[in-house]
Chain A
Amino acid sequence: MSLPQFKLLRPRSVAEAIEHLVKHAGSVRVLAGGTDIIPSMRQKLFEPECVVDLRAISEIRGIKPQTDGSVEIGTLTTIRTIERSDFLREHYPVLSEAAGTVASPVLRNMGTIGGNICLDTRCLWYNQSLTWRKGCGFCIKKDGDLCHVAPGGTKCWAAFSGDTPPALLCLKAEIEIVGPNGTRRVPLADFYTGLGDNYRNLQANELLTRVFLPASSKDYRGVYRKLRVRGSIDYPLAGVAVVLKRSNGHVSDARIGITAVNPAPLLVGGAAELLVGKAVDEALAEAAGDLAAKISKPLTTSALTPEYRREMIRVFTKRAVLAAAQVNGN
């Protein structure tokens, strides 16, 4: 499969990149690590006239601890750098752990944190070649008006399948978005729409430039658990991040993030209410699992049955809560 023809633009600054995005707003895609967009372009999921290759922009690369204790991560920072950073390992270990489960070592060397946050939602009826999609009559997300996983439906259910966002959500991450009209900073949770097709709140002329982790999240310890068939390469079929904050021997705050079972990564509401003030035990962890399973709505967008994947959200959440308690010295 050949790549479609496009003009490759290589800006050296964010400002220059925005200029390109504005100029070609009608048909432009951004390339950061390229691990997802290149195969997608070969499958003719995107046929932009221009591709803006961000890799020459050094100002948004790297992990920069701030004086107030928070940290700023440039969106071009590779997943590998996130995984290996001693600073993040010490202060935000759940993010390091989630980063370490992304795809395979080769892909982690190329893929970026910004790319993982912006990762296109996935579905077996969508991530296929043009010839293949022709055979199924296309779908809502691309070129068609049918949904194959929810027949009769008008909503796209393609699943968000990034590994780091549930961890970032647990850490109350904020993101910086730069556009022609300036810079805005929004909570990551507001970035996702919950729709499979139009899955993120980002205009075509805007760029995701930085991720901020607040100093207050340093007290939160936890783990990321990922369901996949193979120990490497695979996207998550279900993923759970759990962080706990403890004081005086009991949980003083808790956050649970899930991924790969909805069109967006989600924070599980009511987690804090359930866990705060209690000592974590098997029954409590199981209750947390039920809570997470309740809001997960996997469909047949990937391997393994939806019923099984929802069940695994329950099991993995339970295990993650127990493990997070362990990490926190329960």
Chain B
Amino acid sequence: MTQPTTKDQRPTTDFSIIGKPTAMVDAAAKTTGVGKYTDDLSVPGMLVGKILHSPYPHARIRRIDTSRAEQLEGVVAVVVGKDAPNPYGILPVGHDEHALALDKVRYVGDNVACVVAISEAIAEKALELIDVDYEVLPAYFDPEESMKATSDLIHDNKPNNLEKDYHHIFGDPDRGFAEADHVAEARFIANEVTHAAMEPHSTLAAFEIDPHTGKPGRLTVWSSTQVPYYLQHKLSLVLEMPMAQIRVIKPLVGGGFGGKSEVIPLEIIAAVAARKAQAPVKITYTREEVFWAHRGRPRTIIDLKTGVKSDGRITAVKARVVQDGGAYCSYGVVTILYSGALLGALYDIPNIQYDGYRVLTNKPACGAMRGHGTVNVRFAFESQLDELAAKIAMDPAEIRCRNLLQPPCITVNGLRVQSYGLPECIEKTVERSRWDERKGKLPRGRGLGIACSHYVSGAANSIIRSDMPHSTVNIKIDRDGGVVVYTGASEIGQGSDTMTAQIAAEVLGCSLSRVRVIAADTDLTPIDIGSYSSRVTFMAGNATLRAANEVKKLIAAAAAKKMDCQPDDLVFREDAVVSRNGHVGTAAIGRPAEQSSAATVSGRVEGQILRGSLQQKRKDEGPKDQMSFEEAVVAAIDFHGALTGTGSYAPPPEARGGKHKGAGVGPSPAYSYSAQVAEVSVDEETGEVTVHKVWAAHDCGRALNPVSVEGQIIGSVWMGMGQALTEEMVWKDGMLMNPGLLEYRSPSSVESPEVEPIIVESIDPEGPFGAKECSEGSLAATIPAIANAIYDAVGIRLHESPFTPERVLAALRAKRNAKALNLTEGVDPTSPTRFREHGGSLWFKGKGPERHPLDPSRHEPAGGTD
């Protein structure tokens, strides 16, 4: 096991750039409003695209008549499904989407047609003039109902509306349960949540006219995406164009959280529309359309069984997970696999049984969202572990410490764990929250809860199986001493450009201001598979490290020649290259730095640009024991002809997991770890839960930029709190009842608790400078930490998220056997037995829209009141 060292305790490191709080390189542009997001962009002749969405959850399209719309003045083109009939999807196994519906619509909001017009108002008016003749079909809203379907399937090639199911057994779960002294078993439900990124999706697509044919030639697409290269690939499939003819540029992105980590319908539609209209087309989603595009965290039913010995050791875990995946595959197959795979790698669990079902329903597709696949199962697991701790009268923090892994190790389900800061995370949160003296001793209505979580630092196997590196980075340095880093990694607000610049500057020993990052432009930057599954720091970071080392080697060779020493003797630091022989210790570094600052000002010495003569002068002086960074760069270019370097990263084979079916998802080169303590109070008369403080320790390997790591921890806790308490997508007969940020309630600043981020550094052996991910792993712990704190406060165990006031109050009443107040329509929230169609906090007894008479939802009305 790697000995964890903490930021607080470790001696001052030898780094000059990393490990120091650093302002984001794009912070000024974003905060002053100068920065351009996709919707800020405009090109000459640009038109507006608007999409016609389906009003029915499931219907066959008999006929579309666009003629009336086309005749409206100001309308340039109307695009329909047959204009681009090729299927696509983010996963090779899930090519089930089309730019626009071909013959069927599968959810309210599905894409039917697109109008291209000279203004938004005209385009909207034209949408009203498109006549679509629908044959309404029975629709499926409840995954457990949907799994029984034999007719009117959502996709003809998916019997029982089952997208995919997996059945894994590791170890011997039956024996494990037999050995257990205590077994807990319960059903948990986590309702559906979405990313709610600040920036709605936007895409601008423009074709260049081919000079030889006069027809649309090369395509440029600006899009708010986390995955420009996947977008390029899918565009090429749908448009039947070679990838080389397609350039994807990612401008500033206002948050992704997974909602932009695959190809979103508007990106394809904008390109198809631009081709048909023969003009640039921009489409920006309304907030409602963002909710329909969705790809968020699916509602999940988790039937969980855990066995423990009296000493707290976990003997076996059995989980049956059903995910309400929506109408298309999206990342679904990966999500359902993550839900099972990441039962491992947090604790030492010898026996695991997992049955996962990804089910299709007539609702917007679910996909990847921060903490992809792990969050809902982690809520169930950590809640149940808390319950078991209470059963064996063990402290909840202690039971977690009894089940630690002993890395380096490979878990029973084939996950390789090397660095493991979980013990220290638990220790730190317990210490900072004064757990031992306060747990269980707070006044009634106030409580503390603990929970842990973890996440991958990138997937060890990419979606498209190949031997291609996952990240490649190029570095170019010219005679001006400016370092340009070309990376395909997508900055989406998480700080990837800053991380890249920091690593390059650290390796090259130059100041951060010398480094310019050119990112995510498929014509300019080498391929990187994108910003998702928290892979960028680990993978693009390693690629940057390697590219910078390659360049450094070239500089060192030339500088060593000049300085008459061995390249290995040179130290690159603070814009200088210093020979170790001449100057030992850090005190010597001051002088060249001072010198270089004079040279940094564009090489102007004594009022003249004298780079050539300066070199001449140096030559005359004979060998030196230091050079400025610029001098060394000039020497290297003179010597090698050019100064460029390339680095790439592919996860090592030993990190790529086992051989079983579905083993590709879950393995990662490294895992981050988190432990959290939440302090909450519960108003027993109203059921309202207030989170007062969260102590969140996160093992990120090494904090390259501590202020950024802290921001990510706080953001994760905050987002987790949203899912725990207020956020929930609510449905009535396929209608999303809250498709806006007024009714979909992300927490406001008022109820945001104090979050104390605690950075734990386990220094991963393979991460760049030991770094791992820091953006996702902390989210999953927040929900069960709050649930467990509620239990500590008022003694109720909540099995359904979010913990809205009426659910909490109903559970409190059920516990007290108080007046049977029907708060959630007869469903005891402490033991959700079935998956209710509408979610919970909005319980629509009312009349929904007219639906097909054979709708299963009509047969057995949810709650019995429809």
Q: Which of A's residues lie within 8 Å of B, judged by CB?
A: 1-5, 104, 124-125, 128-129, 131-132, 134-137, 146-152, 227, 229-235, 299-300, 302-305, 307-308, 311-312, 315
Contacting residues, chain A, for B747 (C-beta < 8 A): 230
Instruction: Among B743, B749, B824, B825, point to the contact of A303 (Cβ < 8 A).
Output: B743
Q: A235 vs B740: C-alpha distance in the bound complex, in angstroms?
A: 14
Asked if residues A124 and B743 are in contact (CB atoms below 8 Å), the reply is yes
Return 17 A-B CB contacts under 8 Å, by A number.
A5-B121, A134-B55, A146-B847, A147-B846, A149-B845, A150-B846, A152-B847, A229-B805, A231-B748, A232-B748, A235-B742, A304-B841, A304-B842, A305-B824, A307-B806, A308-B806, A315-B685
Contacting residues, chain B, for A233 (C-beta < 8 A): 742, 748
Asked if residues A131 and B53 are in contact (CB atoms below 8 Å), the reply is yes
Query: Is there a chain A Cβ closer than 8 Å to B833's Cβ?
Result: no
Chain B 255-289, CB-CB to A under 8 Å as 1, else 0, gives 00000000000000000000000000000001010
Asked if residues A303 and B842 are in contact (CB atoms below 8 Å), the reply is yes
Asked if residues A132 and B846 are in contact (CB atoms below 8 Å), the reply is no
Asked if residues A135 and B121 are in contact (CB atoms below 8 Å), the reply is no
Instruction: Among B735, B748, B846, point to the contact of A149 (Cβ < 8 A).
Output: B846
Dominant secondary structure of chain A at its interface with chain B: loop
Give the number of chain B interface residues (Cβ < 8 Å): 46
Contacting residues, chain B, for A152 (C-beta < 8 A): 847
Asked if residues B55 and A135 are in contact (CB atoms below 8 Å), the reply is yes
Contacting residues, chain B, for A302 (C-beta < 8 A): 743
Q: A104 vs B742: C-alpha distance in the bound complex, in angstroms?
A: 12
Asked if residues B822 and A300 are in contact (CB atoms below 8 Å), the reply is no
Asked if residues B823 and A311 are in contact (CB atoms below 8 Å), the reply is yes
**Shortest Cβ distance from residue A34 to the other chain B in the assembled complex, whole angstroms:** 16
Q: A129-B286, A231-B751, A305-B825 are known; give 15 further A-B pairs, CB within 8 A.
A: A128-B739, A134-B55, A135-B108, A135-B849, A146-B847, A152-B847, A231-B748, A234-B745, A304-B804, A304-B806, A305-B842, A308-B687, A308-B805, A308-B806, A311-B821
Asked if residues B750 and A300 are in contact (CB atoms below 8 Å), the reply is no
Asked if residues A104 and B845 are in contact (CB atoms below 8 Å), the reply is no
Instruction: Among B743, B751, B848, point to the contact of A148 (Cβ < 8 A).
Output: B848
Q: Which residue of B lies closest to A237 (CB)?
A: B805
Contacting residues, chain A, for B845 (C-beta < 8 A): 149, 300
Q: A148 vs B809: C-alpha distance in the bound complex, in angstroms?
A: 27
Contacting residues, chain B, for A312 (C-beta < 8 A): 686
Asked if residues A2 and B121 are in contact (CB atoms below 8 Å), the reply is yes
Instruction: Among A137, A227, A308, point to the contact of B850 (Cβ < 8 A).
Output: A137
Query: Is there a chain A Cβ closer than 8 Å to B726's Cβ?
Result: yes
**Shortest Cβ distance from residue A103 to the other chain B in the assembled complex, whole angstroms:** 10
Known A-B contacts A136-B735, A148-B847, A304-B804; A129 and B288 likewise in contact (beta carbons under 8 Å): yes
**Shortest Cβ distance from residue A39 to the other chain B in the assembled complex, whole angstroms:** 9
Chain B 815-854, CB-CB to A under 8 Å as 1, else 0, gives 0000001111100000000000000011111111110000
Which 10 A-B pairs have CB atoms at the shortest separation, nearest pair first?
A231-B750, A151-B847, A308-B806, A135-B55, A149-B846, A232-B748, A2-B121, A136-B849, A2-B120, A148-B846
Contacting residues, chain A, for B310 (C-beta < 8 A): none
Asked if residues B821 and A232 are in contact (CB atoms below 8 Å), the reply is no
Q: A2 vs B825: C-alpha distance in the bound complex, in angstroms?
A: 39
Asked if residues B847 and A307 are in contact (CB atoms below 8 Å), the reply is no
Contacting residues, chain B, for A311 (C-beta < 8 A): 809, 821, 823
Q: A94 vs B674: C-alpha distance in the bound complex, in angstroms?
A: 46
Contacting residues, chain B, for A315 (C-beta < 8 A): 685-686
Contacting residues, chain B, for A1 (C-beta < 8 A): 124, 286
Instruction: Among A104, A234, A303, A307, point to the contact of B822 (Cβ < 8 A).
Output: A307
Q: Which residue of B lies closest to A234 (CB)?
A: B745
Instruction: Among B119, B743, B823, point to the contact of A308 (Cβ < 8 A).
Output: B823
Instruction: Among B738, B745, B824, B846, point to the contact of A230 (Cβ < 8 A).
Output: B745
Asked if residues B825 and A135 are in contact (CB atoms below 8 Å), the reply is no
Contacting residues, chain A, for B847 (C-beta < 8 A): 146-148, 151-152
**Shortest Cβ distance from residue B40 to the other chain A in the assembled complex, whole angstroms:** 18
Known A-B contacts A230-B748, A311-B823; A131 and B846 likewise in contact (beta carbons under 8 Å): no
CB interface residues, B 704-753, toward A, < 8 Å = 726, 730, 735, 737-739, 742-743, 745, 747-751
Q: A312 vs B849: C-alpha distance in the bound complex, in angstroms?
A: 30
Interface centre among A151, A230, A234 (most CB of B within 10 A): A230
Chain B 666-701, CB-CB to A under 8 Å as 1, else 0, gives 000000000000000000011100000000000000
**Shortest Cβ distance from residue B338 to the other chain A in the assembled complex, whole angstroms:** 30
Q: A253 vs B229: C-alpha distance in the bound complex, in angstroms?
A: 72
**Shortest Cβ distance from residue B137 to the other chain A in the assembled complex, whole angstroms:** 15
Asked if residues A124 and B737 are in contact (CB atoms below 8 Å), the reply is yes
Instruction: Among B686, B735, B825, B841, point to the contact of A132 (Cβ < 8 A).
Output: B735
Q: Which residue of A lies closest to B845 (CB)?
A: A300
Asked if residues B726 and A131 are in contact (CB atoms below 8 Å), the reply is no
Chain B 506-527, CB-CB to A under 8 Å as 1, else 0, gives 0000000000000000000000
Contacting residues, chain A, for B730 (C-beta < 8 A): 303
Known A-B contacts A148-B847, A303-B745, A308-B823; A230 and B842 likewise in contact (beta carbons under 8 Å): no
Query: Is there a chain A Cβ closer than 8 Å to B141's Cβ?
Result: no
Q: Which residue of B lies closest to A124 (CB)?
A: B737
Query: Is there a chain A Cβ closer than 8 Å to B56's Cβ?
Result: yes
Q: Which residue of A lies closest to B120 (CB)?
A: A2
Contacting residues, chain B, for A230 (C-beta < 8 A): 726, 745, 747-748, 750-751
Asked if residues A104 and B748 are in contact (CB atoms below 8 Å), the reply is yes
Q: Which residue of A lies closest to B726 (CB)?
A: A229
Q: A147 vs B55: C-alpha distance in the bound complex, in angstroms?
A: 18
Q: A47 vs B778: C-alpha distance in the bound complex, in angstroms?
A: 47
Asked if residues B823 and A305 are in contact (CB atoms below 8 Å), the reply is yes
Contacting residues, chain A, for B735 (C-beta < 8 A): 132, 135-136
Contacting residues, chain B, for A136 (C-beta < 8 A): 735, 848-849
Q: A315 vs B805: C-alpha distance in the bound complex, in angstroms?
A: 13
Asked if residues A305 and B841 are in contact (CB atoms below 8 Å), the reply is yes
Q: A307 vs B819: C-alpha distance in the bound complex, in angstroms?
A: 13
Asked if residues A132 and B739 are in contact (CB atoms below 8 Å), the reply is yes
Contacting residues, chain B, for A131 (C-beta < 8 A): 53, 55, 288
Q: A315 vs B823: C-alpha distance in the bound complex, in angstroms?
A: 14
Asked if residues A307 and B120 are in contact (CB atoms below 8 Å), the reply is no
**Shortest Cβ distance from residue A133 to the other chain B in the assembled complex, whole angstroms:** 9
Contacting residues, chain B, for A227 (C-beta < 8 A): 686
Q: A97 vs B748: C-alpha distance in the bound complex, in angstroms?
A: 20
Contacting residues, chain B, for A5 (C-beta < 8 A): 121
**Shortest Cβ distance from residue B445 to the other chain A in the assembled complex, whole angstroms:** 15
Q: Which residue of B lies closest to A316 (CB)?
A: B686
Contacting residues, chain A, for B738 (C-beta < 8 A): 124, 303
Asked if residues A151 and B805 are in contact (CB atoms below 8 Å), the reply is no
Q: A234 vs B846: C-alpha distance in the bound complex, in angstroms?
A: 23
Known A-B contacts A304-B805, A304-B806, A305-B843; A137 and B849 likewise in contact (beta carbons under 8 Å): yes
**Shortest Cβ distance from residue A162 to the other chain B in the assembled complex, whole angstroms:** 15
Q: Which residue of A lies closest to B825 (CB)?
A: A305
Contacting residues, chain A, for B749 (C-beta < 8 A): 232
Contacting residues, chain A, for B822 (C-beta < 8 A): 307
Q: A307 vs B836: C-alpha distance in the bound complex, in angstroms?
A: 18
Q: A151 vs B749: C-alpha distance in the bound complex, in angstroms?
A: 38
Contacting residues, chain B, for A234 (C-beta < 8 A): 742, 745
Contacting residues, chain B, for A4 (C-beta < 8 A): 121
Q: A5 vs B823: C-alpha distance in the bound complex, in angstroms?
A: 44
